[in-house]
Amino acid sequence: MNSEMKLQIKTFISNFIKLCIKFIKLLPNILKTLYKEVLQRLRFSISFKITVVYTWLFTKLLIFSSILLWIICSSYMVTSAEKKVSQNLDLVKYYLANNDIIPSKQLENLSTISKTKITLFDDNKKVIFNTSKSNTFYTGNNNINKKYRFVFNGTVFNEDSISLIINNKLNLKVDSIYVQINYILADELTNSIKLLILLFCINFIFVFISIRPGAKASKKLLKPVYNMSETVNSIDVNALDTRLDVSGSQDELKDLAKAFNKMLNRLQDSYERQNEFVSDASHELRTPISVIQGYVNLLDRWGKNDTEVLEESIEAIKSEAENMKNLVENLLFLARGDKNTQVINPEEFLLNELMDEIIKETKLIASGHNIISNGSYDINLYADRKLIKQALRIFIDNSIKYTAKDGNITINYTKVNNEAIITIEDNGIGISAEDLPNIFHRFYRADKSRAKDTGGTGLGLSIAKWILLKHKGNIEVESHINVGTKFIIRLATIN
């Protein structure tokens, strides 16, 4: 090796050492970043969590099966050793039975071939023959009659291993003799350790190999979730009709997608209803504003000096302003109801007293109609008296509005079990079967042209329904066109 080459090798080694030192210096930072990355992923990535959990379970399974395999193999090795020792004992017995003196040559040969130590004792447990030069033997518990024994190093022998010992008493022609065969389980121990290391390496390789496919499989499993989040991200008010894909296998994710779709249906529904509500409200407000504008223009042009035009205009503006006020009040009521800010002040009161009050007022307002009433006493309610009155007024006012003069309006109230039942019945124009399911919808009016004359806004029944539902009440309606309409209202009493 020339000096140039030596120098090159020297520089290479010194560079390598420098690099190693740099790496060791960087190692804490690398480990810190790795730890942070793992923590971050564990916190946010379900796919990473699944991979970790499955790898951990797989590792546990592998370790468990390897330990099981190791125990089976090791016990097989020990059983084989036991068989070998017992065969040796049979041979020793045979040699001793067929010789008058101790056949030391044969016993030594046997000891060498089978890698065992053979020791013979007399009746007084004194050693009379030993194949081992060290002249050591096992005397644990002083009981050499016991069959197999495992003795760990350091107890009696100096060998660095575990021994398998067999003791046996032989009754020979003259006297009896004790045999001890000692087999050192050195090979078995080495093989067992080798097997353990091999299994550990195989486990490590298997676990390492399984990480990638595991990560891939968990990503594949979670693909529908990625797709779902992509679709959900693309949904905004302009694309409220977008729905998640629910085709494919029937699993929990499909249930989740279905639940999402149901939620989107509800959102779209309420968004559309909100839009409809705003456009209906604007439409309803536009009419009185246009009428007022029309009369103001009329007044501006001709009405200043014409008292007839002046009076007509003032009357019309007053009536339209009243309609607008009613409409805005109703709209505000429903908006408060939707926002849950409508205050409800429940109190204990007698329904029969409230009904008397309402009937008296009705008789004053609807003097042209026949108001027939019949009711029971002592109907105690715990509710917002003002709101209940407002709801009942809506039903009665409708009966007046949609029943011709001289028509009958029958108001009954009674108590059945723990329920107050109020019926408001008229023999007016009635409601057709197609309109009946819609009358509680906001701004719905069965007969639009007639509703205009009656000054209705189409919000009355929605308000009444809201009030009664908030009091856990119930409304039923029966109606036939040109026969009449009957509203049945039920409310819980407190006695």
Which residue in the set 342, 460, 467, 489 belongs to the binding site for ligand ADP (CB under 6 A)?
A: 460
Q: Any contact of residue 284 with ligand ADP (CB under 6 A)? A: no
Beta carbon nearer to ligand ADP, 381 or 431: 431
Strand-pairing partners, residue 372, are 410
Q: Any contact of residue 323 with ligand ADP (CB under 6 A)? A: no
Q: Could you give the CA distance from residue 291 to residue 439 in angstroms, rounded to a whole number?
A: 27
Beta carbon nearer to ligand ADP, 306 or 447: 447
Continuous H helices in 98-139: 104-114
Strand pairing class (370-375; 408-416): parallel
What's the closest the beta carbon of residue 423 comes to ligand ADP, in angstroms?
12
**C-alpha separations of 422 from 59, 136, 438, 483 in Å:** 73, 112, 22, 20
Q: Could you give the CA distance from residue 426 to residue 483 in angstroms, rounded to a whole number?
A: 8
Q: Are 467 and 387 in contact (CB under 8 A)?
A: yes
Q: Any contact of residue 168 with ligand ADP (CB under 6 A)? A: no
Using DSSP, state whether 102 is helix, strand or coil.
coil
Q: Could you give the CA distance from residue 459 to residue 323 in angstroms, rounded to a whole number?
A: 12
Beta carbon nearer to ligand ADP, 415 or 442: 442
Residue 417, amino acid: N
User: Residue 264 contacts by C-beta under 8 Å, 6 or more apart in sequence?
Assistant: 235, 240, 242, 243, 244
Restricting to residues 426-455, which ones interact with ligand ADP according to CB under 6 A? Answer: 426, 428-431, 439, 444-447, 451
What's the closest the beta carbon of residue 42 comes to ligand ADP, in angstroms?
58
Beta carbon nearer to ligand ADP, 149 or 490: 490
Q: Any contact of residue 119 with ligand ADP (CB under 6 A)? A: no
What's the closest the beta carbon of residue 478 comes to ligand ADP, in angstroms?
11
Which residue in the set 456, 466, 467, 473 belongs to the binding site for ligand ADP (CB under 6 A)?
A: 456
What's the closest the beta carbon of residue 327 comes to ligand ADP, in angstroms?
10
Beta carbon nearer to ligand ADP, 85 or 411: 411
Stretch that binds ligand ADP, among 273-281, 296-304, 341-349, 423-431 (CB under 6 A): 423-431
Beta carbon nearer to ligand ADP, 48 or 402: 402
Question: Phi/psi class of residue 443: alpha, beta or left (left: φ > 0; alpha: ψ in -120 to 50)?
Answer: left
Stretch that binds ligand ADP, among 66-74, 75-83, 132-140, 456-464 (CB under 6 A): 456-464
Q: Could you give the CA distance from residue 117 to residue 134 in angstroms, rounded to a whole number?
A: 10
What's the closest the beta carbon of residue 366 comes to ligand ADP, in angstroms?
12
Question: Phi/psi class of residue 29: alpha, beta or left (left: φ > 0; alpha: ψ in -120 to 50)?
Answer: alpha
Beta carbon nearer to ligand ADP, 137 or 395: 395
Residue with smallest beta-carbon separation from ligand ADP: 456
Helix axes 252-298, 307-339, angle to 10 degrees: 160
What's the closest the beta carbon of residue 461 comes to ligand ADP, in angstroms?
3
Beta carbon nearer to ligand ADP, 224 or 407: 407
Q: How many Cβ atoms are within 10 Å of 199's Cβ, its own excluded?
A: 18
What's the closest the beta carbon of residue 457 comes to ligand ADP, in angstroms?
5
Q: Phi and psi for 201 in degrees, rounded to 5?
A: -65, -45
- CB-count exposure of residue 261 (10 Å: 0-12, 13-18, 19+): middle
What's the closest the beta carbon of residue 409 comes to ligand ADP, in angstroms?
9
Restricting to residues 367-406, which ones interact with ligand ADP according to CB under 6 A? Answer: 394, 398-399, 402
Max CA distance (Å), the chain: 163
The number of residues that bind ligand ADP (CB under 6 A) is 23
Q: Phi and psi for 382 in degrees, rounded to 5?
A: -120, 95
- Cα 412 from chain centroid (whole Å): 52
Beta carbon nearer to ligand ADP, 86 or 319: 319
Any idea what DSSP says for residue 302?
I
Nearest to 407 by CA among 355, 477, 483: 483
Q: Any contact of residue 461 with ligand ADP (CB under 6 A)? A: yes
Query: What is the sign, positive or negative, of the torsion defined by CA atoms of 181, 187, 190, 194?
Result: negative
What's the closest the beta carbon of residue 375 comes to ligand ADP, in angstroms?
20
Beta carbon nearer to ligand ADP, 246 or 477: 477
Beta carbon nearer to ligand ADP, 147 or 325: 325
The side-by-side arrangement of strands in the sheet containing 419-426 is 370-375, 408-416, 419-426, 484-492, 474-480
Beta carbon nearer to ligand ADP, 116 or 342: 342
Q: Any contact of residue 407 with ligand ADP (CB under 6 A)? A: no
**CB crowding 214-237: b at 16 or more within 10 Å, else e:** bbeebeeebebeeebeebeeebee
Q: Any contact of residue 485 with ligand ADP (CB under 6 A)? A: yes
Stretch that binds ligand ADP, among 79-87, 98-106, 355-363, 458-466 (CB under 6 A): 458-466
Which residue in the set 181, 407, 457, 489 belongs to the binding site for ligand ADP (CB under 6 A)?
A: 457
Q: Any contact of residue 288 with ligand ADP (CB under 6 A)? A: no
Residues in contact with ligand ADP by CB under 6 A are: 394, 398-399, 402, 426, 428-431, 439, 444-447, 451, 456-462, 485
